[in-house]
Structure 1
Amino acid sequence: MVLRLPRAVTLGLIGSLLLLLGSFGGGATRNRGGVLEAAGLDFLAYGRGAGISNTVFWFGVVLLLLGWITLGRRHVLGAREGDVDKREKAVRTAMWAWVLPLIPAAPMLSRDVYSYLMQGAMLRDGFDPYTQGAAVNPGPFLLEVSHDWRNTTTPYGPLHLWIGEGVTRLVGDHVTAGVIMYKLLSVAGFAAIAWAVPRIARRLGGDPVLALWLGVANPVMVLHMVGGMHNESVMVGLVSLGLLACLNRRFVLGVALIAVAVSLKATAAIALPFVVWMATRHYAARINQVLAFLLTGFVAVVETLLVVAAVTFLSGASWGWLSEISGNSKVINPLAWPSLTAGAVTTFIQLFRDDFDYNVALAVLRPVSMVLMLAGLVIVWWLFRQDDRRAIAGTATAYQVAFVFNSVTLPWYYASVISLVGTVRPPGWVQRLAVGASVVVTLSFTGSGNHQLYNTWWMAGVFVLAWVLTDWAFGRDLRGPWPAPGAAPRGPADRAAHPPAVPAASRPR
C-alpha cells in the first residue's frame, strides 16, 4: 500500500501552530520575564515542562518539514509544466499559512535577536558596539544576551545598528516589545524575498513555482528568517530586489539596493561583481566591451561607497565595522570547512599524539581557508560571466563558496544561496542536493539554538531521513510492508497457484 499524507498546507499549518505553542518554553526562552512568566506558566520553560515544550516544538518542526516536502511532490516537482499560476498560488498560500502562526511566536533556533536589541541600545546610549561589548551597558537587554557574546563586538554594518537604535528608542528597554518589532522587520524582509524570487525566475526563463517552493517556502527560510528573526531576512530581501532591478536594466537602483544591504551585512557585496557582468553585457551593445566593463565597474564601486558612507553618517555609527567583518571566531561547527577539517585532522593525529590540540589545527586551517575562499570567489566570478542566468547562478555559487570556506558558518547564512538556487532552473542533481541539505539543516538545530551536528547517531538518522524524503519528493513512492485494504493475503503458495506463462519445453533424456 502506498503511504499517503494529508494536504501539504494542513500538515505545515499544524506544524506552525505547534511551533507557536512550543516556542515559549522550547525556543530561545527569556532569562527574565516574558510571556510565560506573565501568564503564570513559566514552569513550561524548565524541568518536565521544558521537556513537554521541546517535544511539542520538535513535532512542529517535523510536520512543517513534511508539509514542505509534500507540497513539492504534489505541486512542484511532480507537476506538469502547465497552469503555472495555479501551482504558484498553491505554494504561496501554503507558505503564508505556515508563516502567519510564527508571527506571535517567541524567538526560536537562536538568541541573536536579543543581541540585536542590545547593540541598538548601545548606540542609543552612546557606546560603540564595534569596540565595546554588551557588558558595558547593563539593563534588561543584557540579561537576555548569551554569556558567550556579552564581551564581544558586533560584525554587522551601520544599518544594523541604526535599525536597532530606532527600535530601542521606540520601545525603550521593553524586551518583548523589541522582539515584536524585530519580528515585523523579519516578516517584511521575508515578504520582499517572496515577491522578488519568482519574478527573478520568470525573468531568467526559469520555473517560478520551483523558485518559490525551494527558495522561500523552504523550512530553513521560514524557521530562521521569520522564527529566528535574523537580519539575513532584510539583507536577502534587499539583495533579491536589487538583482531583480538589475535584470530589468535598472542598474543604478539595483546597485543602490544591494549597497544598502552591504551596510547591513557585508556578505551582500558578493552579488555586486556579478551585477557588473550583467551591466557590461547590456552596455556593450552601445560601446566597446572593455570600456563598458571598466565604466560599470567603476560606477558600481563608487555608488556602493557613497551609499554605505551615507548610511554610516546618518546612523551616527563609526567605520569600525570594517575591522569586524571577519566576525567572531567562537562558533565551532562542521558547516564551516576549517572546523570540519580541523576535527578530522585532530582525530587522526591524536591516534599518535594524545596531547595534540584541536585549536592548533584550527589556527592553521582558518587562514588557509580564507585564501581558498578568495580564490574560489574569483574563479566563480570569471566562470559565470556569459549571460544573466549564469550571473545569478554564479551569485548563488559564490555565496556557497564563501559560506563553506568562511571561518564561521551558521544555518541562516544559507538563505542567500537557497533564495537564488531555484530561480535558474538548476539541474536535477542540484535540486536534489538543495532539498536534502535543507532537510538536514532543518533537523540539526534545537529550538534553543544549540546544534546536533556532533551527535553522531542523531545526524545518521537525519541523513537517512533526508535521503528518503528527497526521493519521495522527486516521485518515488513510500510503500508499507502491509497489503492494500481489501486485498487477499499472499503467502508462499500464491506463486504456485498460477501456472507458468510459458509451458516448459520437453528436454532430451
Structure 2
Amino acid sequence: MATTTDSAPSAETPAEETAAARHARAGEMSQFPYRTIAMGVVGSVVLMLASLGAGGILVRDPIIGTGPLSWMRYGHGHALATAVLYVGFGLVVWAWVRLGRYALAGRIGARPIVIAAFAWMAPLLIAPPLFTRDVFSYLGQGAQLLHGLDPYDYGPAALDVLPDVVQNVHWLWQTTPAPYGPLYLLVAKHTVAITGNNMIAGVILTRVIMLAGLAGLLWALPKLVRHLGGRLPVTMWLTVASPMMVIHLVGGPHNDLLMLAFLTIGVWAALERKHALAIALVTVGMLIKPTAAVALPFLVWVWANRLPGEESLFRRFVKAVVPSLAIFGVVFTVGTWVSLGSFNLGWVTGLQAPQLIANWLNFPTGLGEIAHTLVNLVVDVPSSPFVTVARGAAWLALVGVMVWQWWKARHGGREAIMRMGITLLAVAIFAPPTLPWYLTWGFVILSAFPWRRVHLAVMVAVSMFLVLVYYPTGEQSLYDWWFIIGVIAASLYGAASLLKPDPLGLIEAWRRHPVTEHRAEERRAEETPTSHATS
C-alpha cells in the first residue's frame, strides 16, 4: 500500500471505476490522503475556536465569561467569530468533497475515510454545541427525571435545582414536555447525575455517549453494504465523514445517533435471519427516539419472506407479525419500566411538542406559508389556518405513502430495506417539524445501496444546505433570504465540485492571471543560470 500524499483525482470511465472499486474493496489503496485529512482537521479546529464566540454558548460561561475574550460574543466580535466559523466549515466541506472524489475513483478504501471522520470530530468534542442547542434540552430533561419530575408532564422550567442546566434550555422548550423515548431520558438522567450543574462537562459527556452510537454504525454499515450491494468507501464517506455526521450528530450533538445505531444493527440482524433480535433492537431504538418504530412493519415483511414452506403470503405474514408484536410488547414494556420506574406512555403526547416549530424546511408548512403569502396580498389574514390545513393534508398523504411503501416491500429482502429508508425520509420531510438532522434517519439506511455519481453530488448539496440553514447559535436562518441564497449557491458549488474539481475554473483562472504569469516568468528567469564576463 503506497503512502504518497494526495492530489486531485482525475475523471475515470465507468469501467475503470468498477475495477477501482474492486481494488478498494480488497483493501488496495493507491494513496493515503494526508493533506485532505489535514485540511479538514484545520477546519475543525477553526470551527471549535470560533464556536467559543459564535456557537451555542452558555448563559453564564465559566471559560470566557466577561474576560478579555468576551468580545467574541458581542457586536463586531461576534460577527467576526461567525465569519471565521464559516471558514472552518468551508474547509471541512472542501476536505470532505476531495475525499469523496478519491472514494468514487476507487483510490482509497474505507479506512482513510473513517480516520478522517474521527480526526475531524475530535476538536468538536470539546466545542460548544454547533448549529443547535438541543443538548441543553437533553440535560434539562435528564435533570427532571433525576430529581423526581416527570419530563412528560413538565418542562425543565419546573425544576428548582441545577440553575445552569435549566436556564440554558431554549425558551421554546422550557415549558414543553420531552418528545424523546424513556430509554434516552434514562441516559440523560445518568449524564446529569455525573456532571451535575456543570454544563460544559454535560455537553462533552453527551458527545462521548453519542460516540457509542457511532461505534454501532461503524460495526453495522460494512455488513449492510455486503447485503445491499453498495461500495463501502462511498457508504462511509456519505454517512460517517459527512458534515451531517461530523457537525450535526456529533458536533451538535443529537441523540438520533444512538437511535441509528440500534436501527442499522437491527436491519443487519433481519438480513441475517435473526428476526427476533432485529425486532428487539429496533424497539430499543424506538425507546431512544420514537421514529425507529417506522422500520418495524418492514422488518415483519423480511421475516415473513424468510419463513419456510409454500404457504400464502398472508399466512406467512401472520406467522411473522404475531411473534413480532410479542417481542415488541415485552421489550417496550420492560424498557419503559426500567427507564421510568412505571409504564408511562407520556412520550406519546410529548411528540406534539416539536410541532410548535413552523418553518418552510417542513414541506407542507412551506406550502401553507406560500398560500398565506399569496392570499395576504389581497386580504390581511393570519397564517396559522393555512399552515394547519397544509399540515393536515400532509399527514393524510404521509399515511398513504407509508402504506404504499410498506405494501411494495411485501416481497422482503433488499426491496423491503430500500422502502424502509424511503419511508423514513418521507416521515422526516412531511411530518412536522422537519429538522435538518432528521433526514439522517433515511440517509443512513440508503447509504448502503449502490449510488450513482450524480446522486451523490445531490447529497453533497443537501448535506451542506441542511447544516447551513441554521445559524451556528442554533437559531434558524430560513427567513434570512439573502443568506439562504448564499447557502444555496455554496451548496450547488459543493455538489459540482464532487463531479469536477474547480467547476467554475476559479483556480485555473487565477493561475492564468497576468500578474501571476509575470511573477512566474520572473521566478524562472531568476532560476535560469547566466554567465557574466569578468573584467
Using structure 1 for the length normalisation, give the TM-score: 0.88
Deviation at 1:24, TM superposition (A): 1.8
Q: Confirm or deny that 1:29 pairs with 2:57.
A: yes
State the alpha-carbon separation in 1 of the partners of residues 49 and 510 from structure 2: 38
Deviation at 1:386, TM superposition (A): 3.5
Tell me: CA distance 1:475–1:87, structure 2 relative to 1, closer, same or farther (3 Å).
Answer: farther
Deviation at 1:10, TM superposition (A): 2.1
Deviates more, 1:400-409 or 1:188-197: 188-197
- How do residues 42-121 of structure 1 correspond to structure 2 at under 5 angstroms? 42-73=70-101, 75-77=102-104, 79-80=105-106, 86-121=108-143
Equivalent pair of 1:36/1:44 in contact (CA under 8 Å) = no
Q: Which residue of 2 aligns with 1:482?
A: 509
Tell me: CA distance 1:123–1:483, structure 2 relative to 1, closer, same or farther (3 Å).
Answer: closer
Deviation at 1:378, TM superposition (A): 0.9
State the alpha-carbon separation in 1 of the partners of residues 410 and 458 from structure 2: 24
Equivalent pair of 1:215/1:421 in contact (CA under 8 Å) = no
Tell me: CA distance 1:288–1:385, structure 2 relative to 1, closer, same or farther (3 Å).
Answer: closer
Q: Which residue of 2 aligns with 1:416?
A: 441
Tell me: CA distance 1:486–1:134, structure 2 relative to 1, closer, same or farther (3 Å).
Answer: closer
Deviation at 1:87, TM superposition (A): 1.8
- How do residues 197-276 of structure 1 correspond to structure 2 at under 5 angstroms? 197-276=221-300
Q: Which residue of 1 aligns with 2:486?
A: 461
| Letter matched to residue 15 of structure 1 | G
Equivalent pair of 1:161/1:315 in contact (CA under 8 Å) = yes
Tell me: CA distance 1:195–1:42, structure 2 relative to 1, closer, same or farther (3 Å).
Answer: farther
Deviation at 1:424, TM superposition (A): 1.0
Tell me: CA distance 1:425–1:386, structure 2 relative to 1, closer, same or farther (3 Å).
Answer: farther
State the alpha-carbon separation in 2 of the partners of residues 308 and 31 from structure 1: 37
| Letter matched to residue 52 of structure 1 | L
Q: Which residue of 1 aligns with 2:171?
A: 147
Q: Which residue of 2 aligns with 1:371?
A: 396
Deviation at 1:334, TM superposition (A): 1.4
Which secondary structure does the structure 2 equivalent of 1:348 belong to? Answer: helix
Q: Which residue of 1 aligns with 2:464?
A: 439
State the alpha-carbon separation in 2 of the partners of residues 272 and 172 from structure 1: 36
2:367 to 341, 356, 360: 341
Structure 1 residue runs without a partner (length 5+): 491-509
Q: Which residue of 2 aligns with 1:495?
A: none
Equivalent pair of 1:200/1:423 in contact (CA under 8 Å) = yes
Q: Which residue of 2 aligns with 1:137?
A: 159
- How do residues 294-313 of structure 1 correspond to structure 2 at under 5 angstroms? 294-313=318-337
Which secondary structure does the structure 1 equivalent of 2:59 belong to? Answer: coil
Structure 2 residue runs without a partner (length 5+): 1-6, 10-33, 518-535
Q: Which residue of 1 aligns with 2:206?
A: 182
Deviates more, 1:179-188 or 1:451-460: 451-460
Tell me: CA distance 1:285–1:483, structure 2 relative to 1, closer, same or farther (3 Å).
Answer: farther
State the alpha-carbon separation in 2 of the partners of residues 102 and 191 from structure 1: 17
Deviation at 1:117, TM superposition (A): 0.8
Q: Which residue of 1 aligns with 2:376?
A: 350
Which secondary structure does the structure 2 equivalent of 1:447 belong to? Answer: coil
State the alpha-carbon separation in 2 of the partners of residues 470 and 423 from structure 1: 20
| Letter matched to residue 137 of structure 1 | L
Equivalent pair of 2:103/2:233 in contact (CA under 8 Å) = yes
Q: Which residue of 1 aligns with 2:148?
A: 126
Deviation digits for residues 214-233 of structure 1 (CA, Å, limit 9, x no counterpart): 12211012111101111111
State the alpha-carbon separation in 2 of the partners of residues 446 and 71 from structure 1: 26
Equivalent pair of 1:130/1:154 in contact (CA under 8 Å) = yes
Deviates more, 1:46-55 or 1:153-162: 46-55
Deviation digits for residues 385-436 of structure 1 (CA, Å, limit 9, x no counterpart): 4442222211210011111111211011111122122211134554333222
2:407 to 376, 382, 392: 382
Equivalent pair of 1:418/1:434 in contact (CA under 8 Å) = no
Deviation at 1:332, TM superposition (A): 1.7
| Letter matched to residue 200 of structure 2 | T
| Letter matched to residue 109 of structure 2 | R
State the alpha-carbon separation in 2 of the partners of residues 431 and 383 from structure 1: 25
Q: Confirm or deny that 1:10 pairs with 2:34.
A: no
State the alpha-carbon separation in 2 of the partners of residues 436 and 336 from structure 1: 18
Equivalent pair of 1:189/1:235 in contact (CA under 8 Å) = yes
Q: Confirm or deny that 1:320 pairs with 2:322.
A: no
Deviation at 1:47, TM superposition (A): 3.0
State the alpha-carbon separation in 1 of the partners of residues 458 and 397 from structure 2: 23
Question: How many residues are matched?
Answer: 481
Equivalent pair of 1:216/1:419 in contact (CA under 8 Å) = no
Identity of aligned residues (%): 29
Deviation digits for residues 30-75 of structure 1 (CA, Å, limit 9, x no counterpart): 00134323976333222333223222211111111111111111x2
State the alpha-carbon separation in 2 of the partners of residues 53 and 469 from structure 1: 23
Q: Which residue of 2 aligns with 1:164?
A: 188
Tell me: CA distance 1:70–1:291, structure 2 relative to 1, closer, same or farther (3 Å).
Answer: same
State the alpha-carbon separation in 2 of the partners of residues 379 and 303 from structure 1: 25
Using structure 2 for the length normalisation, give the TM-score: 0.84
| Letter matched to residue 250 of structure 1 | K
State the alpha-carbon separation in 2 of the partners of residues 275 and 254 from structure 1: 8
Deviation at 1:269, TM superposition (A): 0.8
Tell me: CA distance 1:342–1:34, structure 2 relative to 1, closer, same or farther (3 Å).
Answer: farther
Deviates more, 1:283-292 or 1:242-251: 283-292
| Letter matched to residue 106 of structure 1 | P
State the alpha-carbon separation in 1 of the partners of residues 88 and 264 from structure 2: 29
State the alpha-carbon separation in 2 of the partners of residues 113 and 451 from structure 1: 16
Deviation at 1:268, TM superposition (A): 0.6
Deviation at 1:203, TM superposition (A): 2.0
Tell me: CA distance 1:215–1:109, structure 2 relative to 1, closer, same or farther (3 Å).
Answer: same
State the alpha-carbon separation in 2 of the partners of residues 134 and 151 from structure 1: 6
| Letter matched to residue 76 of structure 1 | A
State the alpha-carbon separation in 2 of the partners of residues 267 and 393 from structure 1: 17
